[in-house]
């Protein structure tokens, strides 16, 4: 691991140029640009760098990789590239809160206080909970939000995937490597995923579909044994025997630590202007956490570039060194 530990303690007495919060594609790209520009930048991340794409089995729509590439390999290349330019990455040091001290932004982390002239918030999203009985009780015992993490536990079993978007269908297809049957439970009568993913799923011999159904309860004893499904058109309820269930019913932004500091939309995503600056001067947002983002790796990379360039200009302008 090329990241330094204990960075916060050593940085307490001086002000950094830019702090990047979040180590997914947007944050790592911002780090590449800032480090290459020889800005005094630090990336803090509450987990290992990579973000959600690191748990994606295969990415096929990122330009330059006609055969596709694993999500982990793609973001690991980004990390190595950023560190190669000198970016310091301090994982396992989550942001607790942020406040202003004049032109300086103050970040409280678990390792201490960090100060910088600019901040890029690239904290991403996390899976939304379904909110039904049994979900919390069986989390880790048949309930999962990550097929690439847990799929191998269900070899030769029957699993359900709840959702019909790209993430749900991609992960359902991945699960066919292990399970003998994968059942997509979707509240509509057709999938919402891209056409290529739909075609693969509908043609796969291990895939089955429970159309116009919603999960009312996740049932079991020591672990998941089945689902109680309800027909959205009033056709009654039915039980579906499964060994596990993977939930892909939406995402929530990771913005709790900046709530009340930067302006959020009604769903909690960060509002920005065309320069990706928030309502707080010198604080930018990039990637999936930004309101209006399209939740694609290529788009997050573009956000990282814009946020980095604008953060750099902001800092240089404060110092009177900005290029005109």
Residue whose C-alpha is closest to residue 93's, from 41, 42, 35: 42
Residue 222 annotated as catalytic: no
Hey, how many other C-beta atoms are within 10 angstroms of the C-beta on 238? 12
* 118 vs 103: CA distance, rounded Å: 8
Phi, psi of 108 (to 5 degrees): -90, 125
Residue 288 annotated as catalytic: no
Can you name the residues that pair with 244 across neighbouring β-strands? 159
* 296 vs 164: CA distance, rounded Å: 17
Quick check: 246 and 159 in contact, CB under 8 A?
yes
Residue whose C-alpha is closest to residue 240's, from 262, 260, 214: 214
* 130 vs 252: CA distance, rounded Å: 12
- Choose, from 17, 101, 149, 265, the residue flagged as catalytic: 149
Quick check: 16 and 116 in contact, CB under 8 A?
yes
- Choose, from 17, 76, 101, 146, the residue flagged as catalytic: 146
Can you name the residues that pair with 118 across neighbouring β-strands? 18
The secondary structure element, H or E, covering residue 72 is helix 71-84
Residue 156 annotated as catalytic: no
Hey, how many other C-beta atoms are within 10 angstroms of the C-beta on 269? 20
Hey, how many other C-beta atoms are within 10 angstroms of the C-beta on 172? 31
- Choose, from 17, 150, 243, 288, the residue flagged as catalytic: 150
Q: Which residue has the tokens 């690191």?
A: 54
Instruction: Just list the catalytic residues.
Output: 146, 149-150
């Amino acid at each position: 691991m090329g990241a330094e530990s204990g960075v916060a303690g050593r940085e307490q007495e001086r002000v950094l140029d830019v702090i990047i919060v979040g180590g997914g594609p947007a944050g790592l790209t911002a780090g590449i640009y800032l480090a290459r520009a020889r800005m005094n930048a630090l990336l803090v991340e509450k987990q290992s760098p990579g973000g959600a794409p690191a748990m994606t089995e295969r990415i096929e729509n990122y330009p330059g990789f006609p055969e596709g590439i694993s999500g982990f390999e793609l973001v690991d290349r980004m990390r190595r590239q950023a560190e190669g330019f000198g970016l310091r990455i301090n994982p396992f040091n989550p942001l607790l809160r942020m406040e202003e001290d004049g032109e300086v932004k103050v970040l409280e982390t678990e390792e201490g206080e960090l100060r910088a002239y600019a901040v890029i918030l690239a904290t991403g999203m996390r899976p939304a909970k379904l909110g039904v009985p049994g979900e919390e009780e069986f989390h880790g015992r048949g309930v999962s939000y990550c097929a690439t993490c847990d799929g191998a536990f269900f070899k030769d079993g029957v699993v359900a995937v709840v959702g019909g978007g790209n993430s749900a269908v991609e992960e359902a297809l991945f699960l066919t490597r292990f399970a003998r049957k994968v059942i997509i439970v979707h509240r509509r009568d057709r999938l919402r995923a891209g056409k290529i993913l739909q075609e693969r799923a509908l043609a796969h011999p291990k895939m089955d579909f429970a159309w116009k159904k919603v999960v009312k309860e996740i049932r079991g004893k020591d672990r998941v044994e089945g689902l109680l499904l309800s027909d959205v058109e009033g056709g009654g309820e039915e039980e579906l025997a499964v060994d596990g269930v993977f939930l892909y019913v939406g995402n929530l932004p990771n913005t709790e630590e900046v709530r009340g500091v930067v302006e959020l939309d009604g769903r909690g995503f960060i509002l920005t202007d065309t320069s990706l600056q928030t309502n707080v001067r010198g604080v930018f947002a990039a990637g999936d956490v930004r309101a209006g983002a399209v939740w694609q790796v290529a788009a997050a990379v573009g956000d990282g570039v814009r946020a980095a360039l604008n953060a750099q200009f902001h800092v240089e302008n404060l110092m009177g060194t900005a290029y005109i």
